Amino acid sequence: MNELLSALKQSARIWQGHQPAHTRQPAESTGYQALDNQLGGLGWPRGALSECLLDTPGIGELHLLLPLMQRLTHSGKTVFWLNPPHIPYAPALVREGVNLDQVVIIHTKNSGDFLWTLENCLRSPVTGLVMAWPGKLALRDVRRLQLAAEAGSNVCVLFRERCHAAQNSPAALRLKLQPDANQCLHVQILKRRGSWPGQHCELPLPQRAGLATAETSRVVKGPWPKSAR
């Protein structure tokens, strides 16, 4: 029993009140020192779900993942985009150092196909990162995806509407994202496995790679309507 309790504490699956958990949970640096510091020096958890909660796409949320996309695609790992709200603009991703040979974009027709596809992406040994825009998800579906993430030991980020912030979620990390008037992205930590929530930081959006201008916004929106696929 003591060994089991110790293992649960080490994986931060038992909340220890005021005592932060010091875990060996595998993680990938976000590439932003200010954010990594707020995440206990870890970053994006591997083998677990992360949620980014925001009001509308295109506020700079993809810049949180650009450093990770750069590292993983150049290390031979595949980055999956599942049901992105807009068509990514390939030249902008190349300009930011992403290897497009390791990028796969998938669009599904219904929620059943979405869950099946996401599960298989998470369990695949070639996967480094899955970014998914699920729309509505039942709590049982989130638990199902969490199990798949644990099996694959890769990074999974779900982009969801901010209205879901008040709902319970088994995700290991939950971030609320808001833009501000100073070309920064405000990041608030709503949940971090093994520690207190409430930390926050502001990350500047680089002008060259940011979403502030019509030209660079294409990294999110793309110049083509979805019907052009």
pTM score over 0.85: no
Is the residue at 13 inside a domain? Answer: no
Total of domains in the chain:
1
Is the residue at 2 inside a domain? Answer: no
Q: What is the mean pLDDT of residues 158-168?
A: 90
Range of the domain at 191: 26-222
66 phi and psi, to 5 degrees?
Answer: -55, -50
Give me the pLDDT at residue 1, please.
53
Give me the pLDDT at residue 3, please.
55
Burial of 212 (0-12, 13-18, 19+ CB in 10 A): middle
The CA R_g of the chain, rounded to the nearest whole Å, is: 17
Is the residue at 227 inside a domain? Answer: no
- Please answer whether residues 219 and 90 qualify as being in contact, where contact means their C-beta atoms are separated by less than 8 angstroms: no
Best-predicted range by mean pLDDT among 138-142, 148-152, 187-191, 209-213? 187-191
The answer to whether residue 52 scores a pLDDT higher than 90 is yes
- Please answer whether residues 105 and 226 qualify as being in contact, where contact means their C-beta atoms are separated by less than 8 angstroms: no
> Residue 170 — very low, low, confident or very high, per pLDDT cuts 50/70/90?
confident
Residue 92: count other Cβ atoms within 10 Å of its Cβ. 18
- Please answer whether residues 30 and 70 qualify as being in contact, where contact means their C-beta atoms are separated by less than 8 angstroms: no
The mean pLDDT of the chain is: 82
74-91 per-residue burial string, b: 16 or more CB within 10 A, e: under 16: eeebbbbbbbbebbbbee
CATH code for position 61:
3.40.50.300
Is the residue at 170 inside a domain? Answer: yes
Give me the pLDDT at residue 219, please.
44
Give me the pLDDT at residue 204, please.
87
Q: Which residue has the higher pLDDT, 128 or 7?
A: 128
